[in-house]
Chains A and B, each alone.
Chain A
Amino acid sequence: MTQVSMTVNGKAVSGDVEGRTLLSSFLRDKLGMTGTHVGCDTSQCGACVVHVDGAAVKSCTMLALEAEGASVDTIEGQAAADGSLNAIQQAFQDHHGLQCGFCTPGMVMSAAALLKENPKPSESDVREYLEGNICRCTGYHNIVKAIMAASGQDVSAIAAE
Chain B
Amino acid sequence: MYNFEFVKPASVADAVAALGEEDAQALGGGQTLIPTLKQRLAAPSKLVSLSGIAEMKGVSAADGVLSVGGATTHGTVAAEAGAYPALADLASHIGDPAVRNRGTIGGSLANNDPSACYPSAALASGATIVTNAREIAADDYFQGMFTTALEEGEIITAVKFPIPEAANYQKFLQPASRFALVGVFVAKYADGVRVAVTGASEDGVFRWSEAEAALSKEFRGDALMDLKVDPANMIGDLHGTKEYRAHLVGVLTKRAVVAAG
A residues at B contact (CB < 8 Å): 2, 18-20, 22, 41-44, 46, 49, 52, 55-58, 61-63, 65-66, 68, 110, 113-114, 129, 131-133
Set of chain B residues within 8 Å of A52, measured between Cβ atoms: 101
B residues at A contact (CB < 8 Å): 1-6, 8, 27, 30-31, 34-35, 37-39, 47, 49, 51, 75, 95-99, 101-102, 177-178
- Beyond A43-B35, A49-B98, A55-B101, whether A62 also contacts B30 by CB under 8 A is yes
Contact A57 B102 (CB under 8 A): yes
- 12 further A-B pairs in the complex, CB-CB below 8 A; given A43-B34, A56-B97, A68-B8: A19-B5, A20-B1, A20-B2, A41-B38, A46-B96, A57-B102, A61-B31, A63-B49, A65-B8, A65-B49, A131-B95, A131-B178
Which listed residue (A20, A61, A131) contacts B102, Cβ 8 A?
A: A61
Contact A132 B98 (CB under 8 A): yes
Q: How many Å from the CB of A104 to the closest CB on chain B?
A: 16
Q: How many Å from the CB of A16 to the closest CB on chain B?
A: 13
Set of chain B residues within 8 Å of A129, measured between Cβ atoms: 97
Cross-chain pairs A/B with CB under 8 angstroms, 27 sampled: A19-B3, A19-B6, A19-B47, A20-B4, A20-B37, A22-B34, A41-B39, A43-B99, A46-B96, A46-B98, A49-B98, A56-B98, A58-B98, A58-B102, A61-B34, A61-B35, A61-B99, A63-B47, A65-B8, A66-B8, A66-B49, A68-B8, A110-B97, A110-B98, A113-B97, A114-B97, A133-B96
Q: How many Å from the CB of A109 to the closest CB on chain B?
A: 9
Set of chain A residues within 8 Å of B177, measured between Cβ atoms: 44
Contact A62 B95 (CB under 8 A): no
Set of chain B residues within 8 Å of A62, measured between Cβ atoms: 30, 34, 102
Set of chain B residues within 8 Å of A66, measured between Cβ atoms: 8, 30, 49, 51
- Chain A interface main SS type: mixed
Set of chain A residues within 8 Å of B6, measured between Cβ atoms: 2, 19, 63, 65
Contact B4 A19 (CB under 8 A): yes
Q: Whose C-beta in chain B lies nearest to the C-beta of A41?
A: B38
Set of chain A residues within 8 Å of B37, measured between Cβ atoms: 20
A126 to B1, CA, bound (A): 34
A57 to B95, CA, bound (A): 12
Set of chain A residues within 8 Å of B4, measured between Cβ atoms: 19-20
A114 to B99, CA, bound (A): 14
Set of chain B residues within 8 Å of A43, measured between Cβ atoms: 31, 34-35, 99
- Beyond A20-B1, A63-B30, whether A132 also contacts B99 by CB under 8 A is yes
Set of chain B residues within 8 Å of A55, measured between Cβ atoms: 75, 101
Set of chain B residues within 8 Å of A61, measured between Cβ atoms: 30-31, 34-35, 99, 102
- Beyond A19-B6, A20-B37, whether A132 also contacts B97 by CB under 8 A is yes
Contact A132 B102 (CB under 8 A): no
Q: Whose C-beta in chain B lies nearest to the C-beta of A17?
A: B6
Which listed residue (B31, B35, B51, B96) contacts A131, Cβ 8 A?
A: B96
Q: How many Å from the CB of A68 to the closest CB on chain B?
A: 7
Q: How many Å from the CB of B155 to the closest CB on chain A?
A: 17
Q: How many Å from the CB of A73 to the closest CB on chain B?
A: 13
